[in-house]
Structure 1
Amino acid sequence: MRLFKDYLLNMCLALVLVPVSVAAFATEYFVASKDDYQAISSKLVAGDKIILKNGVWTDFEILLEGQGEADAPITLTAETKGQVILSGLSNLRLAGQHLAVSGLVFKNGYTPSSAVIEFRKNSNALAFHSRVTEVVIDNYNNPDKQESDYWVALYGQHNRLDHSHFVGKRNRGVTIAVRLNSEQSQQNYHQIDHNYFGYRPTFGSNGGETLRIGTSHYSLTDSYTLVENNYFEHTNGEVEIISIKSGKNTLRGNVFFEARGTLTLRHGNGNIVEQNIFLGNGVEHTGGIRVINKDQVIRNNYLQGLKGYRFGSGFTVLNGVPNSSINRYHQVENALIVNNSFIDVDHMHLAAGSDAERTAVPINSVMKDNLIINTNKQQPFSLFDDVSGIKLSGNIANTELPAALSYGVKRQNVALKKAENGLLYPVSGKLNAGAKRDLKVLSKQDTGASWYPKSPGFVTFDSGQTHQVAQGATALLAAIDQAGEGDVIVLANGQYDVSKLIKINKTLTIKAAQAGQATLTFERSALFEIQNGGSLKLEGLVISGANSPDSAGNSVVRTQKWGMVDNYRFVLLNSHILALDINHTFDFFVTGKGAFADEISLMGNTFDNVTGDILVLNTEIEDLGIYNAEYVTVKNNTFNNVQGAVVKLYRGGTDESTFGPLLHMADNTLNQVGYGKRNKNKSSLYLHGVQVANILQNTLVKSAPIVVEHTVGEPITVIKNNLFDATQAPTITELRVEGPHTAVIDDNKTPNTDKR
């Protein structure tokens, strides 16, 4: 008996001493409703797993809070990845330790708070050692475009955001923000890796960054965030794709594909930028790396086919402000720029931004062993100030460079060959200059959520089906209602008397089967209204305002008057617009406030008898850096008896974070344009703050002058080979820079300038 008792005692002691896994007490919850989730959310322990039932969850504000452990995190996931849709006013917050979220999709709504996903409950309860992976945020935008929010805000320390998919952010605010606004969020060692950043349309003002680490207020604080192996495709929000505003961050192995903007070391010191790939493919405003501040390391990066210039150039080293405040531009000091390849990079700017304020030139910096090859043999460098503080050595270029740089650059013809990684390297393996040959090029398919498609950012015109429409407004309206994205509606010859406002909320082309033989009239104050999701192309039509209401302020095309969050496109080709004169201020195209066009093009058209303006793109007059259109093209048109201006395009304020507006106006004829008594600018073309304007080979007869007002951003205005007959010469005014204007005005003819 005693032996048996001793045996039991030993067994009990053994059980006490055997470690018990935390997971043994964990619970798996299958949650089918918001109430079910609330019932268990406050009692989660390490190892617990919550599975959300497949379906659409509307207005679901999720708080995942608890204390997981490294080998037993608290997990929230979808029953099936990609089939749990969070819509309406939904968001996600994480607070605690070792939390993990995966498989969710946010779409068809917007966050009711400051972020869609937030690594905190509030300012006192943050997330640590937590992970969000394989999560999608797709066009989840506040309908007020100027209302700011983040899609992901990282707080706390040692958190990871990976293999997630972000596409279509259209309202103000950074897509992903790393916040350093408390000690618990500084020196955070976050990891942001293998994410897919898809199309972010041009925002049209500051506030369109894709990734920002820190803010100017905490810019002298170190973050230690790793941004690695992410894919940035068409992230065009503003000039800064990535904005680094803190120190000791590493950006490695990322790919920037046809992305308009730059990786900008805006604030903070001691950051490392290495092994990144920038592929511009000749797309306008594709940029590379912009350097500001101290101790920055830029090494072993590959940059090819970049067209950007100035602050958005392929490579930029900025001038600083002496004794700069924390939110301005600190002097570049001790920068190391080594073993980078610049292939067909149009512009490399050193001491950029030099002006009366930014006078602190780069100092104690090194630029060595870089490869600079332009197949067009155009040298890329522009020097805006003294660059002797950048010491050059071992660099190789195939073009003649400015004298101030030639001592440290060997001019040499270098043959290039595509390697297995798809990049171009010198055929000769003996050159030490340029990026390393073992550079890995990340595949887009290796980023984001593998189960979610990486679709194009917008629908191209004429990419859908074609519909033949018989004569009559009823048939036209029915065809528009039934058409799909990218469809083409072809109108039979005849008259179309439209009594309803045609609302365009899809990408659509309306064209005449035979140019000039389909005529549209309209009885409302406008014929077309472009709404969210809409883009419109008109071709070969005759549009008359003869049947329009006898009241002021009509238009042929307008955008939604307020609340457009989607960018749009409008194209008019080979059409005849006439009789916009039933009352005063009858415009052809009018933008609503807040609306933004990626493209507006008028080509091959004739306009007769218009009491208003042709393109009204000047509703953003608060001087906040906001404007209404990025690219405006007016080519090969004839304008007869237009009382207003052909284009009124306005961008006010002092912000320098955008590329546009950009105007190309060529080969047009203007007869008696701009002299209406309600045309306050007394101009045939009025441009304020336009960044690039090419006005070429136009004929202006008995018309008001071209009026250009330069503001910030070193605008480029070229007015060449125009005929100003009985028309005053253009006027150029510098509103923010002292001295003569910077426009190029050459080879214009001005007969009879004293006559009207």
Structure 2
Amino acid sequence: MSKFKLFFVFAFYFLCAGCSGNNVEILVSNKDQLQSAISTAEAGQTISMRNGVWRDIEIVFQARGSEDGVITLKAETPGKVIISGRSNLVLTGEYLQVQGLVFKDGYSPTGSVISFQKDSKNLAYHSRVTGVVIDSFNKPDRFESDSWVMLFGQHNRFDHNHLVGKMNKGVTFAVRLNDEKSQQNFHRIDHNYFGPRPVLGSNGGETLRIGTSHYSLSDSNTIVENNIFDRCNGEVEIVSIKSGSNIIRNNLFLESAGTLTLRHGNGNIVEGNAFIGNGKDHTGGIRVINADHQIRNNYLENLTGTRFGGGFVVMNGVPNSPINRYHPVKNVIVENNTLVNVDNILLAAGADSERSQAPESTLFRSNLFVATRGDTLGVTAFDDISGIEFSGNGLSGKALAIDLGTEPAETIRRGDLIADKGGEVGSSITRILDPAEVGVDWYPKGDLRARLDQGREQSVSLGYQSLEHAVAGAAPGDILTLLPGEYTVNRVLELASPLAIVGAGKGETVIRFTRNALFEIQDGGSLRLAALTIDGSASDDSAGNTVVRTSRFGMLNNYRLLLDGVNVKNLDVNHSYSFLRAAKSTMADEIRIRNSEFSNVSGDVLRLDSEQDDLGIFNADYLTIENTSMRSIGGRIAAVYRGGTDESTFGPHVSISASQFEGVGLSKRNEARAALTLHGVQLLSLENNKFVETGGIAISASVGEPVYRLYNNKFGKIVPVVSYKGEPVDAKEYLVGE
């Protein structure tokens, strides 16, 4: 055989290896080859994208396969084809399959990363996306909305995929019911890993939504099963059901802040799901609205959520409700569920002058309530609950705050979970999903972003620009340890990854700086400062200086700022000098100040009030000040602002304790003459503090049911001013102790 003929045989064999009939596999290496292969694809063919990075590519996978001849678009090797830059994928046609791709290091130029429609007339049917990863594929603007996956058409499947790190506004995964071509769709969403989604600080942070209020009286018939929702904390609704006749079963909600919410639509089934909170803040379970649902055989344990994010919440409705409000709860069956150490079981929740219709024709039967801590299991009724019948429920441990018709029950541990020893009440679930059962096995699960203190420790010598060079050369998570002495910084230190800077001890290490800021936390950055002194006396003589500022262009990633044993002084070379100024479209997961001192500051210590649009957006989720002194502060200890009436988020949380404030808030530029202004804070703890010759404290709320604890504070001549929704509240109601 000639060399030419031999080459031809091998080439033909490579092209058609493993194929029979029309099952031809075509390997493509660039955009033009890919589009050509798609345009000529026939039933049964496979198009393989060569391994490598495919940048700035908008793939329109438009083809028609058949039930016996699916057309497949896949990676040459799963996980080795990276879709980056301004890229996305559209499926339109029938019997299509996509597998093995990774979307990272970019964002979609349109409203979705993966869409099951080209336009309103060209949808996907009987098509599947499997083994695909979308990792932090976010638009650059935090509040520019998109959805990573938009599911249209009918009879489509999304399975064994990995979605993690959605940080900009918009639901991660949306099932759309815009017209009859996408209703009664019988989609299946299964075995996916929905990885950590940080707090958005705004409405629009759902992980999964099925339908919208406009089409909520239509049935979707979507099945959501065997998925893991791991630390999905975007907003109060983790899964938002806004349509009818869906089945949500056998999913695991792990340490996720929020609830599976039956927001709109009727006749949904919620069964076999596990909600494991592990005592994390705001972990919730199931929130029930509307009619004809069946909620059965679910397991809920160690959930701390309150209000609309509670462990089990049955809402009040609006009589003759508009389609976008709260339809009353009717004909709902809640049976054979197990609730273990669920802090808040709320009945007729949200009752007010609008939501005035209590649940009716609703049955709680054969459920198991287990309370192993506290005096009672937290059950609260906010309205008449005579429309709820309680029958044959079991109780193990502490008493219920409200009798739910229980009889004593004895529990044992079966598999991973607690169960009724006799098996007559509660859930029959014995195990929860293992992460190995969902997503892909070739991409790591969890939050993979760099963290503070995960890197190496390195010493920084004294000398010209030594700290600047050390910061510039640090790896994510590194710890810079400074020697005793003085460091002078002549440029703004830009932090695009987490970094810790630790001094030699109180008064031993001093950082002076000559610019109008010392640190700028950029997207991806966080900062920990410990055991050092920051002296602003040499900084630029201009108004509005700050020690730490966030990126002025907004940030996708949430950041942390931690101080322990830090002495900040002489921020007074000009007026309005702050320690921290947070820019618009930035969010701190945590700001924590412990064992520190602040003195001679002409402006505010913490400026967390840049979100003035009254859209429910705010700049910091958790703010903690503990065992700290502040004296001669012209502005405020902190200015925290969350405006508007949006109820979809949990923060801000503010805790100030065991601290002393002297001569705070009295600058002539501080028109409010306030030492502390807190607007829209949802959880406030102000305990064991001393205020000496300071301005007032203004606490106001515009939304929700805020919880204030003002205990054992010495206020001197000032009186806290507390208002709720614009109406004054007697501060004495919140003052416990002095």
Shorter-chain TM range is over 0.9
How is 1:524-543 mapped onto 2 (pairs within 5 angstroms)?
524-543=515-534
Deviation at residue 458 of structure 1 after TM alignment = 3.8
One of 661, 682, 700 as aligned partner of 2:691: 700
Structure-1 residue corresponding to 2:427: 435
Secondary structure of residue in 1 paired with 2:469: helix
Q: Which amino acid aligns with 1:152?
A: V
Greater Cα offset, 740-749 or 580-589: 740-749
Cα deviation digits, residues 204-247 of structure 1 (max 9, x gap): 01000000000000011100000000001110000000000000
Q: Is the 8 A contact 1:594 1:620 kept in 2?
A: yes
Give me the whole-angstrom Cα distance separating, in 2, the residues matched to 1:23 and 1:297. 47
Q: Is the 8 A contact 2:37 2:47 kept in 1?
A: no
Structure-1 residue corresponding to 2:599: 608
One of 660, 669, 683 as aligned partner of 2:651: 660
Cα deviation digits, residues 108-160 of structure 1 (max 9, x gap): 00001110000011111000000000000000000101001010000000000
Structure-2 residue corresponding to 1:471: 462
Secondary structure of residue in 2 paired with 1:574: strand
Deviation at residue 455 of structure 1 after TM alignment = 3.6
Structure-2 residue corresponding to 1:747: 736
One of 215, 219, 222 as aligned partner of 1:218: 215
Structure-2 residue corresponding to 1:732: 722
Q: Which amino acid aligns with 1:79?
A: E
Q: Is the 8 A contact 1:719 1:744 kept in 2?
A: no
Structure-2 residue corresponding to 1:687: 678
Change in CA separation of 1:702 and 1:315 when aligned onto 2, cut-off 3 Å: same
Structure-1 residue corresponding to 2:453: 462
Structure-2 residue corresponding to 1:418: 413
Give me the whole-angstrom Cα distance separating, in 1, the residues matched to 2:68 and 2:515. 67
Give me the whole-angstrom Cα distance separating, in 1, the residues matched to 2:288 and 2:733. 30
Secondary structure of residue in 2 paired with 1:664: strand
Give me the whole-angstrom Cα distance separating, in 1, the residues matched to 2:224 and 2:438. 13
Cα deviation digits, residues 235-287 of structure 1 (max 9, x gap): 00000000000000000000011111100000000000000001100101000
Deviation at residue 744 of structure 1 after TM alignment = 4.4
Change in CA separation of 1:281 and 1:60 when aligned onto 2, cut-off 3 Å: same
Gaps of 5+ in 2: 1-18
One of 552, 558, 563 as aligned partner of 1:572: 563
Cα deviation digits, residues 533-556 of structure 1 (max 9, x gap): 101000011001111111100000
Secondary structure of residue in 2 paired with 1:547: coil
Cα deviation digits, residues 487-541 of structure 1 (max 9, x gap): 1110001111100100011111101123331111111110000001101000011
- 1:203 and 2:193 are equivalent in the alignment: no
Secondary structure of residue in 2 paired with 1:70: coil
Cα deviation digits, residues 58-100 of structure 1 (max 9, x gap): 0010011111011111110001100000000010000000000
How is 1:128-147 mapped onto 2 (pairs within 5 angstroms)?
128-147=125-144
Deviation at residue 683 of structure 1 after TM alignment = 1.2
- 1:238 and 2:229 are equivalent in the alignment: no
Q: Which amino acid aligns with 1:574?
A: G
Higher strand share: 2
Deviation at residue 172 of structure 1 after TM alignment = 0.4
How is 1:261-660 mapped onto 2 (pairs within 5 angstroms)?
261-376=258-373, 377-397=375-395, 398-403=397-402, 405-406=403-404, 408-410=405-407, 412=408, 414-420=409-415, 422-426=416-420, 428=421, 430-436=422-428, 438-472=429-463, 474-660=465-651
Give me the whole-angstrom Cα distance separating, in 1, the residues matched to 2:190 and 2:463. 56
Q: Is the 8 A contact 1:462 1:486 kept in 2?
A: yes
Change in CA separation of 1:67 and 1:431 when aligned onto 2, cut-off 3 Å: closer
Structure-2 residue corresponding to 1:678: 669
Structure-2 residue corresponding to 1:9: none
Change in CA separation of 1:393 and 1:36 when aligned onto 2, cut-off 3 Å: same
Q: Is the 8 A contact 1:638 1:669 kept in 2?
A: yes
- 1:39 and 2:45 are equivalent in the alignment: no
Give me the whole-angstrom Cα distance separating, in 2, the residues matched to 1:673 and 1:286. 37
Q: Which amino acid aligns with 1:298?
A: I
Deviation at residue 449 of structure 1 after TM alignment = 1.1
Give me the whole-angstrom Cα distance separating, in 2, the residues matched to 1:250 and 1:127. 22
Q: Is the 8 A contact 1:601 1:634 kept in 2?
A: yes
Secondary structure of residue in 2 paired with 1:269: coil
Change in CA separation of 1:318 and 1:636 when aligned onto 2, cut-off 3 Å: same
Deviation at residue 198 of structure 1 after TM alignment = 0.6
Q: Is the 8 A contact 2:126 2:157 kept in 1?
A: yes
Structure-2 residue corresponding to 1:10: none
Change in CA separation of 1:348 and 1:571 when aligned onto 2, cut-off 3 Å: same
Deviation at residue 35 of structure 1 after TM alignment = 1.4
Change in CA separation of 1:742 and 1:326 when aligned onto 2, cut-off 3 Å: farther
Q: Is the 8 A contact 2:378 2:401 kept in 1?
A: no
Structure-1 residue corresponding to 2:711: 720
Q: Is the 8 A contact 1:717 1:744 kept in 2?
A: no
TM-score (norm 1): 0.93
Q: Is the 8 A contact 1:318 1:352 kept in 2?
A: yes
Give me the whole-angstrom Cα distance separating, in 2, the residues matched to 1:551 and 1:360. 59
Change in CA separation of 1:296 and 1:697 when aligned onto 2, cut-off 3 Å: same
Structure-2 residue corresponding to 1:754: none
Deviation at residue 743 of structure 1 after TM alignment = 8.2
Give me the whole-angstrom Cα distance separating, in 1, the residues matched to 2:463 and 2:413. 58
Give me the whole-angstrom Cα distance separating, in 2, the residues matched to 1:439 and 1:221. 35
Deviation at residue 676 of structure 1 after TM alignment = 1.1
Secondary structure of residue in 2 paired with 1:540: strand
Aligned length: 718
Deviation at residue 748 of structure 1 after TM alignment = 4.3
Structure-2 residue corresponding to 1:152: 149
Give me the whole-angstrom Cα distance separating, in 1, the residues matched to 2:731 and 2:327. 27
Give me the whole-angstrom Cα distance separating, in 2, the residues matched to 1:365 and 1:379. 21
Q: Is the 8 A contact 2:546 2:578 kept in 1?
A: yes
Gaps of 5+ in 1: 1-21, 750-756
Q: Is the 8 A contact 1:175 1:209 kept in 2?
A: yes
Q: Which amino acid aligns with 2:592?
A: S
- 1:113 and 2:107 are equivalent in the alignment: no
Q: Which amino acid aligns with 2:400?
A: L
Deviation at residue 562 of structure 1 after TM alignment = 1.7
Q: Is the 8 A contact 1:251 1:273 kept in 2?
A: yes
Runs of 4+ in 1 over 4 A off after TM superposition: 738-744
Change in CA separation of 1:23 and 1:330 when aligned onto 2, cut-off 3 Å: farther
Q: Is the 8 A contact 2:300 2:340 kept in 1?
A: yes
Give me the whole-angstrom Cα distance separating, in 1, the residues matched to 2:64 and 2:23. 12
Greater Cα offset, 391-400 or 81-90: 391-400
Q: Which amino acid aligns with 2:241?
A: I
Give me the whole-angstrom Cα distance separating, in 2, the residues matched to 1:741 and 1:101. 61
Q: Which amino acid aligns with 1:395?
A: N
TM-score (norm 2): 0.95
Q: Which amino acid aligns with 1:435?
A: S
Q: Which amino acid aligns with 1:434?
A: G
The Cα RMSD (Å) is 1.4
